[in-house]
Amino acid sequence: MADNEIASGEIDEWAAALAEQESFASSEAEATKADIFKPLAGDLPPSSNRDIDMILDIPVQITVELGRTKLPIKGLLELAPGSVVELDGIAGEPMDVYVNNCLIAKGEVVVVNDRFGIRITDVVTPSERIRKLNR
């Protein structure tokens, strides 16, 4: 009988250890989920701000596209001062704003102190940008 008592005692210990392990694994999984799916907060941790600061001085090329057209070489050679090239953009239509050849916004042309600029009217969401990359 003593052997049975030891065997059942060992079984109880194993069952307790397995239960403790499962409890630890599930709490660890919950903690990992919490770390991965943290809600986005307005304030970034100080280390994140430093990471972003590292890239703030990297220059990017911004291009505003009024429209496009195709022209045969003969038509190109006939261009002279005063020639008008018709573009596919419609007057008053928002212009496309590209950063490093990636569409990021749309806007309207403005003139400030005899210089052209663009007033951003719509920003392309990251999901829309990803969708366009998949095409």
Quickly count: other Cβ atoms within 10 Å of residue 89's Cβ: 15
Domain limits for position 51: 1-58
- In the prediction, which pLDDT does 130 show? 80
**pLDDT value, residue 29:** 57
- 16, 38, 58: which is the final residue of a domain? 58
- Backbone Cα Rg of the chain: 32
Q: What is the pLDDT of residue 23?
A: 73
- 22 and 48 co-located in one domain: yes
Domain shared by 98 and 127, yes or no: yes
Per-position pLDDT tens, the chain of length 135: 444 455 566 667 777 777 777 776 666 556 555 555 555 555 555 555 667 788 888 999 999 888 889 999 999 999 999 999 988 878 788 899 999 888 899 998 888 888 888 899 999 988 887 887 776
Q: Clarify whether residues 119 and 82 are in a common domain.
A: yes
- Say if residue 64 is in the same domain as residue 128: yes
My answer on whether 70 and 121 are in the same domain is yes
Bridge partners for 132 per DSSP: none
Q: Do residue 48 and residue 19 come from a single domain?
A: yes
Counted domains in the chain: 2
Give the helix/strand (H/E) hosting 95: strand 95-99
Same domain assignment for residues 84 and 99:
yes
| Helix extents (H) in the chain | 2-36, 46-53, 73-77, 126-133
Which of 41, 58, 75 represents a domain boundary (last residue)? 58
Task: Look at residue 123 in the predicted model and tell me its pLDDT.
Answer: 92
85 Cβ contact partners less than 8 Å away, ≥ 6 residues apart:
69, 71, 79
Q: Which of 89, 128, 87, 88 is nearest to 105 (CA)?
A: 128
Whether 47 and 71 map to the same domain: the answer is no
Predicted pLDDT of residue 61: 92
Question: How confident is the model at residue 91, as a pLDDT?
Answer: 79
